[in-house]
Structure 1
Amino acid sequence: MEGSNHAVPADIENQYILESSMREELGSLSPLSSSGCIYRVPERLRRVNENAYTPNLVSIGPLHHGEKALEAMEEHKKRYLQDFLCWTKVSLEDYITKIRDQEARLRSCYPETIKFSSDEFVRIILVDATFIIALLLRFDCVLDNENDRIFGKPMIVLDLLPDLLLLENQLPFFILEDLFDLQETTLSSDSETRLSITDRFLALLTGSSSLVAKDLEVNKKRISSSPYKAEHFLDLIRLVCQPLRSEVLGPALTIPSITDLLDAGVKLQVMSSENGFDIRFSNGILEISKMIICDDTEISFRNLTAFEQCHCMLMSCCAGDFMNVMSRLVKSPKDVDLLVEHKIVENILGDSSQVVTLFSSIGIGVYPSQNFTFRDLGEGLNKYCSLTWPKMMTNLRQNYFNTPWAAISVIAAVILLILTIIQTVCSIMSVADEHGRGP
């Protein structure tokens, strides 16, 4: 009919608008990637100690870029980029192109969406990646440190290094390797300049970290024997320190404290291997890797544990499992003192109660891994502690042979007792002989 109204009802029109809007919103979602390796620290871990996960001096990558407290380092980073460009024979344009070609892969390393534009994202990665490379080269004295504010006066490198351990402050190794491999240096005849980025990070670790061996070749051997390739600097530390053993499927078991273990007859010993998150028990001897407990220890362990919680829950969480065991072994300052006495722990903090707090608090908010690395350790310790003979021998040593004079007294008493028994037996035998002869 002419003049009839074919207007769409308002509720249907509104539904159509909503549907179109939601389809557009869903269509704009970026695809998920399984290559994520740099994460925000879960809130359940962050709220226990915010400072352990927050950079104090420098931001690396996009997650903390632009924060007011970190702006002072931006000029230093640009100076390092300038020095790096002068040192290499590669143009700034080539470096930008290399990063732009890898932009999609780089963004996929961060499980959350990075809001920076393409140009800003490339700028951040370029400045930060070349800063890291130049930092490693200056550490090895390949680049000149004269008039440098990080290695020279006022020497802030010691304050900067802890920031490189933070999970949220990592860069993927592949982009560092790509940029480093582009360079053609005037020192190319020097074998030192041909070290890989991984080797240079290992050199930095060997010279500065309390977690790893002080022998670079030992650390290289550990990395070469690992079936995994490190994703970034923090992951490299994890692989260097990972126990050289296969995982044992199953949950963690109850483990007695150091004091209780010694009372049960267990002997403590420093593990012969120079590094690693490793603890072993065999033939009544508990071996633990040597640990240096200093101001940076908590930062290292917390960020390693946070990375494992985000990345490795279906694999081996060696750092988290190690700290899980240590939190059970160390229940009191006396336990710490015993570890120090046996040269397993070097306590730079000085206060044993601080070490107890360190071990006990790191496990807060940490979910146990599916493959607990030290399940066989718990089973062995509990079985040994149920034995009676070691406890009896330990009790004798602690109560009767704890000093030379006490030992001499016990031995004298035993000799006197034996002589008394012999005298008594001889007397009985004498009396028996007299009765045997009779009148």
Structure 2
Amino acid sequence: MDINKDHAAIDIKLAETLSKKFKTLHYPSSKECCIYRVPQSQRCLNPSDYTPHIVSIGPLHHGNEELKAMEDNKLRYLHHFLQRTKVSMPEFVASIRKKEARLRNCYAETIDIESDEFVAMILVDAVFLIELFLRKYKGDFRTDDDPLFGESELSFLGIQMRFDLYLEENQLPLFILNELFDLAKIATYGDIYSEISLITIIRFFFSKDSSFLPIGDTNLIDTHFSKAKHFLDLIILCLRPSSQSRDKRRFNYQNIPGIKELHQAGVEFDSGRGRSQSRLHITFENGRLIIPSFTAFGGRTERLYRNILTFENMQGYPRYFNDYVALLCFLIRTPKDADLLIQNGIIGLGDSERMSSVLQSLKKSCIMGSDFQYANVVTDLLHYCKSEWHGWTATLKQNYFNTPWASISVIAGVILLILTVVQTVCALIAL
């Protein structure tokens, strides 16, 4: 027996087996790829923040037993959607089939779902989103048997479900929603979709979520919609500053002072209300730290922010949102820091203790890189805080002029002191 020949045959067979696997490999187009599985190292720290609780959208959580309760409602939505248009279901299916390769390329991993099931899933999930936005936009589209809408605009179930729509692993490419809605509008029963576009209903839906979405101006959706790959991408595009350079110098994050420390050094705080600008546009001007106002952080905000941070990093975008959250984490270390911003109208009323806790938790999801977009702001703050004059005047204001009555008392005391001195001088002159 020739052992060497046997090994050679085994090696050739093994090589052929490995070569066959090349044919099944998924090579996503770098241009199309935009939906990722959250790395396990991140997921294991906060698994529920990356996992849908009510509804699965797209293939990454498709078939999850815990989310199957919503599948029948998706089919009801598809049924009602088809009843309003003269376009047949086979036409919708054919439209998706033509885009199947492009849709699969949007996902960073191989989607192990056969073609028919994949196309059907995309149709059901895409129409579910369109129908949800339509029903939110206009009550005429709603039905009495819809568990997502009660007497109010959304039922409790609907409110819980909407947070699933902003998860990194729960996204559908926007282009397919746009194509299906435009296809439905080609021939309808009546003018039900007159003057309604996908941008219109998405902007309206986002505006109703403004309490926790970090988009300051929902009109930015119109500006960035054509470039957005999905909902999470649309949020990031609306947040990115129009022009803001990143400092390439080495930066020491530990030098960032907290809000209370800044307050004691004489820094004043302003929400910049009335200025049309990005939520991320934090500046320091003439002793005033301008932080655009936002709602206090809670569990839902934490969940959303983690997903935005993850997507921004995995998509390879400049870390504008990452730096924004990192700066807030350092500025708001304690409940007292949050309280000062609440008093100055920068943070909406909320639980300051909960907020500082959430931010310190989010800090673990931030990347502390060598470049930091707020490096100049922090440098100017540190320079300002070093001035003894600013600290002295701040102490005077905070301890002696913090209320109108305190100011009156100090002024009265000064006047009394001056009069006493004058009286004393006059008495000495008389001698």
**TM-score relative to the length of structure 1:** 0.86
Mapping for residues 79-94 of structure 1, pairs under 5 Å: 79-94=76-91
Separation in 2, partners of 1:149, 1:405: 56
State the partner residue of 2:27.
31
* CA–CA separation in structure 1 for the residues paired with 2:405 and 2:244: 48
- Equivalent of 2:301, from 291, 297, 301? 297
The residue correspondences of 1:305-324 to structure 2 (distance < 5 A) are 305-312=309-316, 315-324=317-326
Residues in 2 aligned to 1:37 and 1:189: alpha-carbon distance in whole angstroms: 35
Q: Which amino acid aligns with 1:401?
A: F
Are the counterparts in 2 of residues 211 and 241 from structure 1 also a CA contact under 8 Å?
A: no
In structure 2, how many angstroms separate the alpha carbons of the residues matched to 1:44 and 1:278? 31
Deviation at 1:120, TM superposition (A): 1.2
1:305 to 1:383, Cα distance in 2 relative to 1, 3 A: same
The Cα shift of 1:7 comes to 10
CA change 1:15–1:45 in 2 (3 A) is: closer
Flag the 1:387–1:195 CA change in 2: closer, same or farther, 3 A: farther
Give yes or no for contact 2:240–2:320 (8 Å, CA) kept in 1: yes
Match of 1:360 in 2: 360
Q: Which amino acid aligns with 2:29?
A: S
Using the alignment, how far apart are the partners of 1:411 and 1:10 within structure 2? 103
Determine if contact 1:257/1:328 at 8 Å carries over to the other structure.
Answer: yes
**Is the CA contact (8 Å cut-off) linking 2:33 and 2:107 kept in structure 1?**
yes
Counterpart for residue 396 of structure 1: 396
Equivalent-residue separation in structure 1 for 2:280 and 2:215 (angstroms): 15
1:285 aligns to 2:284 (yes or no):
no
Rounded to whole Å, the distance in 2 between the matches of 1:419 and 1:265 is 31
Distance 1:194 1:412 in 2: 67
Question: 18-27 vs 410-419, which deviates more?
Answer: 410-419
Aligned to 1:197: 198
Residue 141 of structure 2 corresponds to 143
- The equivalent residue for 2:265 is 264
Cα pair distance change 1:14/1:146, threshold 3 Å:
same
Aligned residues of 2:199 and 2:225 also touching (Cα < 8 A): no
**TM-score, length basis structure 2:** 0.88
- Secondary structure of the 2:387 match is coil
**Structure 1 residues 131 and 366, CA, compared in 2 at 3 Å: closer, same or farther?**
same
Q: What residue ranges of structure 2 are gaps of 5+ in the alignment?
A: none
Identical residues among aligned pairs (%): 38
- Measure how far apart 1:290 and its partner are: 1.5
Change beyond 3 A, Cα 1:357–1:37: same
The 1:140/1:346 distance shift into structure 2, 3 A limit, reads: same
Higher alpha-carbon deviation: 297-306 or 20-29: 20-29
Q: Trace 1:206-217 onto structure 2 (pairs within 5 A).
A: 206-211=207-212
The CA deviation string for residues 167-214 of structure 1, in whole angstroms up to 9 with x for no partner, is 111100111111111112536746x64433233211101012324599
- The SS at the match of 1:54 is coil
2:236 pairs with 1:238: yes
Deviation at 1:33, TM superposition (A): 1.7
Q: 1:7 to 1:39 in 2, by over 3 A?
A: closer
Give the 3-state SS of the residue equivalent to 1:399 in structure 2. helix
Distance 1:344 1:331, change over 3 A: same
Other-structure match for 2:334:
332
Deviation at 1:369, TM superposition (A): 5.6
Contact 2:299–2:358, Cα closer than 8 Å, also in 1 = no
Structure 1 match to 2:218: 219
Q: 1:410 to 1:104 in 2, by over 3 A?
A: same
Which sits farther off after the overlay, 324-333 or 198-207? 198-207
CA distance 1:422–1:116, shift in 2 (3 Å): same
Pairwise CA distance, 1:238: 2.0
Q: Bigger shift: 52-61 or 399-408?
A: 399-408
Give the alignment of 1:138-177 within 5 angstroms.
138-141=135-138, 143-152=141-150, 155=155, 156-177=157-178
Structure 1 residue 84: deviation in Å? 1.2
Offset, 1:23: 2.1
CA distance in 2 between counterparts of 1:427 and 1:152 reads: 84
**Match for residue 346 of structure 2?**
344
Q: Distance in 1 between matches of 2:91 and 2:225?
A: 33
- Distance, in Å, in 2 between the alignment partners of 1:360 and 1:130 is 39
Question: 1:369–1:225: structure 2 CA closer, same or farther, 3 Å change rule?
Answer: farther
Distance 2:245 2:198 in 1: 29
Give the distance between the partners of 1:386 and 1:227, measured in 2 at CA. Answer: 45
* 1:28-67 aligned within 5 A: 28-34=24-30, 35-67=32-64
Contact kept in structure 1, 2:325 and 2:366, CA below 8 Å: no
